[in-house]
Amino acid sequence: MIYLDNAATTPMFEGAAEEYKKYACELFYNPSAGYGEAIKISRLLQEARRAVLDRLGATKGDIIFTSGATESNNLAIQGSERGGKWEYVFSAGEHPSVNNVAKSLQQKGCIVHFIPLNEDGQVDYLALEKVLNEKTRLISVIHVSNETGAINDIARISMLRDRLSPKALIHVDGVQAFCKIPFSIDRLGIDLYTISSHKFHGPKGVGALYVRNKGGLKNIVFGGGQEGGLRSGTENVAGIMAMKWAVEHTCVQENFEKVSLLKASFLSGLKLDENISVIDIGSPYILSLSFKNVKGETLMRAVENEVILGMGSACSTKQAGNRILEQLISRDKVISSVRVSFNANLSVDEVKRAGEIINREYYKLVEKI
């Protein structure tokens, strides 16, 4: 079986799984307790924060551990909300865990702007520039699109903020970027950054939010005051330590170069023609493919005994249509689309073979039509 839905989730590193077991079964102490073994765990969590900050390229700021991307995005957005006539700005290419929070703000009566995408799948920077003003409270733009792989120019957005909305916070959903593409938080100049462990070979159920200045954020979960008061609840120590292992054992630049080769090898096996088209506009980890006259779901089922493909965001597979792809391609192509996403542990032979299988099964379906 060749697994090509890594944007949905990745297999956990064996080393990370061993760390998880160690801290779940042996060093299981509650870091909020007062005895020696628990204090040691609390110190290890501080080391994990430092590891994430180092990977982010952040020389200042805090790491708030959460249950994953959805909670981190909610904390960033809801935690930034303030009363009064503040305005909130989101790209139209956001993951449901951002887009649906944005819509909830709108339903509460907040002024919310949704910025369309340009033809390259990035946020329309000119349209963004037009809505920014001194009343803008939050700008939230995804780093790498989970649907197309398009990479937004976050540094450019930061410069727009500095010039037009100096009081605004910038939140970035970095789920498909962290541990995948090279970048530095300090150079991007942002305030809040979301990561999710299971997207880079760590465990599910754990993630983090980078916060440049905790004073700009309010808590949305109340309890014992863990995580600097911003996320109460006993920390998932086993998950955090396994995530730390995954962070420290990921070679971002090396993997980026290998996945670029994997993508090219896959496309050589697939053999693009007038019936098979591809959106290849950013991160090498993600491709969106359209197959003329065949539904994407039909093709996905046809190949699933040999190749596992995705149908876009795993958080919205039960919903009709695809609001992000529909901004870039025709409705017919959207219906005929599948998502292919890689990880660096795949081989060139595997991905080339996967392309050949998809091509073969697609043309079998075409013959039946």
Domains of the chain in start order, with CATH, are: 2-9+251-368 (3.90.1150.10), 14-248 (3.40.640.10)
Residues classed as catalytic: 315
pLDDT category, 154, cuts 50, 70, 90?
A: very high
Q: Pick the closest to residue 340 from 302, 298, 296 (CA basis).
A: 296
Q: pLDDT (tens digit, 9 = 90+) per residue, 69-109?
A: 999 999 999 999 998 899 999 999 999 999 999 999 999 99
Whole-number Å distance between alpha carbons of 258 and 279: 20
Which of 220 and 106 is assigned the larger pLDDT?
106
Whole-number Å distance between alpha carbons of 88 and 140: 8
- Write down the pTM of the prediction: 0.95
Q: pLDDT (tens digit, 9 = 90+) per residue, 236-273?
A: 999 999 999 999 999 999 999 999 999 999 999 999 99
Kindly state the average pLDDT of the residues 280-300: 96
Burial class (CB in 10 A: 0-12, 13-18, 19+), 169: buried
Q: pLDDT (tens digit, 9 = 90+) per residue, 32-70?
A: 998 999 999 999 999 999 999 999 999 999 999 999 999
Q: Which tokens sit at 68?
A: 């994953």
Whole-number Å distance between alpha carbons of 158 and 152: 11
Question: Does the pLDDT value for residue 17 go beyond 70?
Answer: yes
Q: Which tokens sit at 63?
A: 């790491």
